[in-house]
Structure 1
Amino acid sequence: MQEQERRKFFRIDHQVSIELKTISAEEIAKNPTPVQFEVSPYFLLLSQLQDLDTEGDHLLRKIAEKDANTAAFLQLMHRKIDTIAKAVAVNGIELEQILSQEINLSEGGMMFEYPDTFEMDQHLAIKLIFPETCIGLLLYAKVCRLIPMPNGHYKVGIEFIRMPESCRVLLARQVMLLQSQQRRRERLSTEQSDD
């Protein structure tokens, strides 16, 4: 992906849990999604439910046009299922086993600090979890940037590759949600300092 194309994505700095493994291009060719990680049955639960939400949004809008009460009831059921799914997912995802750190994220890739170096164009399998929403993603990526740091670590820039459209939409949604939360915090902070 060209530098100019990568820059068109919204970017956000955020704390996430991340696990990664170096892999070969052959492993990517064999499996549409990473299989290198142990994941509980609950790991992708919220991601799958959000995929279903995306599919159902259009239908819910059509129902709302014809019957507001039915649409309101369906939205209530949606919130109920979402609450139950989050409770189940929180118990099923063990975040303490995964490195948690600040990353710079967009739907096209991310940059993070890492204690070891990689080769340029090295392929990676990535397990990414957003702790506040418990949304987990399994992604493939390629190293496209390495910057040595004074502490001996490296700033690693990666580009997501072979990402399913449902994953891309979910990631874009997370980035936009985090951006709006950040803007809201900044606005509140500004309002409080003005008082």
Structure 2
Amino acid sequence: MSSQNNRSFFRIDVMLPCSYHIISEEESIESPLPISPDATYIEKYFMQDLQGLDEQIAEIIEQINQKSNLLAKALTAMNSKINFVLQTIDQKQLTRTIPHRMVNISAGGLAFKVEGPVSETDKVDVLIQPLPEEPPVLARCNIVKVIPESDGTFTVALEYQGLNEDDRRKLVYFIQTKEIEAANQQRGTAKTKNA
């Protein structure tokens, strides 16, 4: 990562709402992210995963229907109920559905584990929620490094690509807040040991 302004690139490990999509370089050129994505764009983009799951569920229910019509009806009803609930979720509630994962984060990039195969030429779109009261940050990232892990996953080190100033401000504020919390904890631990 760039060595400019080292202070803003202070890294911390933290549990954070973070969702991601790995896309090819070609896909990133064909589908650029909007400069200021609104809640509707974010919802549609990250709900693609749910749409794919919905298709899988429909296929499985169809297979179950061949063996048990009653069970298939029950599963269809439950799936319809879940879809109805998802449609009534507002943007603030939607961001609560972002999975939490351990992230090593800075104002210049982040690193975390991913499941699937990944290449350094791929791009990664991340949706992170550093500040609960603020809209989430959606950013396209360049892959700086891919590290295979012993459990079959990969740790990807990412650098934000064209992060807007408002989103960078959110990240710097979040990181500084976490630094202050860590310093206060260390002071508290030191006082306890000296007492």
TM exceeds 0.5? yes
Residues 125 and 138, structure 2, Cα contact 8 Å, conserved in 1: yes
User: Residue 181 of structure 2 aligns to which amino acid in structure 1?
Assistant: Q
Residues 141 and 158, structure 2, Cα contact 8 Å, conserved in 1: yes
Taking structure 2 as the reference length, what is the TM-score of the superposition?
A: 0.63
Listed as ranges, the matches of 1:85-124 within 5 Å are 92-94=92-94, 97-124=97-124
Aligned to 1:37: 42
Aligned to 2:145: 145
Residues 12 and 105, structure 2, Cα contact 8 Å, conserved in 1: yes
Once the two structures are superposed, what CA deviation does each residue of 1:83-133 show, in whole Å capped at 9, x if it has no partner?
A: xxxxxxx982345532211111000000111222311031222110137x3
RMSD: 2.7
Residues 33 and 140, structure 2, Cα contact 8 Å, conserved in 1: no
For residues 110 and 26 of structure 1, do their structure 2 counterparts lie closer, same or farther at Cα, with a shift above 3 Å needed? same
Q: Distance in 2 between matches of 1:134 and 1:21?
A: 24
Q: CA deviation at 1:30?
A: 6.1
User: Residue 29 of structure 2 aligns to which amino acid in structure 1?
Assistant: E
For residues 190 and 111 of structure 1, do their structure 2 counterparts lie closer, same or farther at Cα, with a shift above 3 Å needed? same
For residues 30 and 15 of structure 1, do their structure 2 counterparts lie closer, same or farther at Cα, with a shift above 3 Å needed? closer
- Confirm or deny that 1:190 pairs with 2:193: no
Q: Distance in 2 between matches of 1:33 and 1:95?
A: 17
Q: 1:26 aligns with which of 22, 25, 29?
A: 29
Q: Distance in 2 between matches of 1:144 and 1:7?
A: 17
User: Structure 1: where are the runs of 5+ without partners?
Assistant: 40-89
User: Structure 2: where are the runs of 5+ without partners?
Assistant: 45-89
User: Residue 189 of structure 1 aligns to which amino acid in structure 2?
Assistant: T
Q: Distance in 1 between matches of 2:111 and 2:5?
A: 12
**Could you tell me the percent identity over the aligned residues?**
18
- Confirm or deny that 1:165 pairs with 2:165: yes
For residues 114 and 34 of structure 1, do their structure 2 counterparts lie closer, same or farther at Cα, with a shift above 3 Å needed? farther
Q: Distance in 1 between matches of 2:152 and 2:91?
A: 36
Q: Distance in 2 between matches of 1:161 and 1:116?
A: 22
Q: Distance in 1 between matches of 2:120 and 2:139?
A: 18
Residues 15 and 100, structure 1, Cα contact 8 Å, conserved in 2: yes
Residues 17 and 130, structure 2, Cα contact 8 Å, conserved in 1: yes
